[in-house]
Amino acid sequence: MENEVLLEVRNISKTFPGVKALDNISLTLRKGTVHALCGENGAGKSTLMHILIGMYRKDSGDLVFKGKKVDFALPKQALDAGISIIEQELTPIYDMTVAENIFLGREPVKLGFIDYPRLNKMATAVLNDLEVRIEPTQKMKLLSLAEIQLVEIAKAISYDSEIIIMDEPTSAIGEKEVENLFKIIDLMKKRDKGILYVSHRLKEVFTIADEITVLRDGKHISTESIKNMDTSKLVSLMIGRKVGEDFVKENSPVGPTLLSVEHFSKRGQFYNISLNLKKGEVLGIFGLMGAGRSEFLHALYGLEKPDQGEVRIENQKVKICSPRDAIKNGIALVTEDRKKMGLVLTSSVKENISLASLKELTTGLFIHEKREKLQVVDMVNKFNIKITGLSHLVKNLSGGNQQKVVLGKCFLTAPKILLLDEPTRGIDVGAKREIYKIISSYTSEGYGVIMISSEIPEILSMSDRIVVFKNGSIAGEFNKAEANQENLLHIAS
């Protein structure tokens, strides 16, 4: 017997000034199923999700939830009705605890005050269901991006909603945490919940989805059973053209050592890290959540001070105490959390891209505006950033275009060493290929890249060598011919 309909989206349209974001979109979500929503950045996925949870109002069409027409004016109305969301762009309250974030506005009260022992017990129960080992009393500001993502997942699940919208829920977490999330999703399906699932990781879509709806440029392209879909067909529907095989970094001549790091350590984060990067090489770093990968890159870039260690660039010892030192020595960093560390969301595309290069663009108190504009336009064109103009606010860009702005900012500093921490997080397949080509072209000019990625296909296809981090130390190293999914996961876990 066919699963009962939980939600119907009927001919929904939405227009923003100058942009038709959604044009007559329809889909059906049934009880006990996962319905994947796929499309490139700018396809309209986020707009549709924001209409479903009451952040935006539709211009036309109907939403039918459990047989009744609804039109939520506020997210609280959707939440009270039984629709919750895990947002791609995380917005925790950093000075509050994990438990306070999970049950914000729903705290248990005793004698007029928050009952913290009970609150922490409730949070522990939700975290245990996800097999997440995070203390409920821990402050959010002390957590990694991956841990914050897990807390946001726990928060959404804690509402016990009829529908859970998951927008890139695995973009910042590792393989083990993804596996635990999928177990929870299976459990929710058995409880007749409906999951609307958005992910650029197509392997995940084929693992858990029952149905797929594809959007492109705000239009409904196709809705099909997962049984009638394969990766090639799905990608073609998403981007409107056939694509070849997955991108693999072009072989470029590997030259002498560009960067060497010796005995890098920081208590509680990473220990005795020694590695080198050669000219023309992409050195991949793989590891599970909490392995110390991001912390190592932060120290290498001067965001944190290591307890010990030495850095040499082209065999010259350098001291990096700040990002300014790193930039001066030809190092650029793309952080895993573009919203928190990579961008000034309320500023323009021009201001963001030129931010790290202002010293070179300034004489005294004055910026050379003409030179700044020319250089920013060059980056916009290089990365194919879709904007209405250089004054376009970064907060109004899609996630993929925001990431391209971060890359543009880094490239404008003319680095010879590029540190990439999850560089394609939350980016669609088309944009990923563009970024891969840029990385490949960059290394072919004799520059070097250190790249962290939790996506095994990405790390395998783009790396010349791969080092595996485990518990803050290097647990193994593989060349391109030796590396495969099994040995990476075996060493990492």
**pLDDT digits (tens), the chain, 493 positions:** 367 999 999 999 998 876 788 999 999 999 999 999 998 767 888 899 999 999 999 999 999 999 999 999 999 999 999 999 988 777 789 999 999 999 998 999 999 999 999 999 999 999 988 888 899 999 999 988 778 888 988 898 899 889 999 988 887 777 778 888 888 889 889 989 999 999 878 888 999 999 999 998 899 999 999 999 988 888 888 877 655 445 677 777 889 999 999 999 998 899 999 999 999 999 999 987 778 899 999 999 999 999 999 999 999 999 999 999 999 999 999 888 777 777 888 888 888 888 878 777 777 777 778 888 888 888 888 888 888 888 888 888 877 788 888 888 888 888 999 999 988 877 777 778 888 988 999 999 999 999 999 888 889 999 999 999 988 999 999 988 888 877 887 788 6
How would you classify the pairing of strands 448-452 and 417-421?
A: parallel
**CB atoms inside a 10 Å sphere around CB 49:** 21
**Encoded tokens for 290:** 């909490």
Burial label for 276, CB within 10 Å (0-12, 13-18, 19+), is middle
The rounded distance, in Å, linking the Cα atoms of 72 and 406 is 34
Query: Where do runs of H (alpha helix) occur along 20-63?
Result: 45-52
Residue 312 contacts residue 259 (beta carbons within 8 Å) = yes
CATH superfamily of 257-492: P-loop containing nucleotide triphosphate hydrolases (3.40.50.300)
Handedness of CA 204, 209, 211, 213 (dihedral sign): negative
Q: What is the fold, at CATH topology level, of the domain defined by 5-239? A: Rossmann fold (3.40.50)
- Measured CA to CA, the distance from residue 115 to residue 127 in angstroms comes to 18
**Whether 70 contacts 81, CB under 8 Å:** yes
Q: What is the dihedral of CA 90, 96, 99, 102, to 10 degrees?
A: -30
Contact between 237 and 214 under an 8 Å Cβ cutoff? The reply is: yes
What are the residue ranges of CATH 3.40.50.300 in the chain?
5-239, 257-492
Pairing of strands 282-287, 448-452: parallel
Outline where 322-383 has alpha helix (H).
323-328, 349-354, 358-361, 369-382
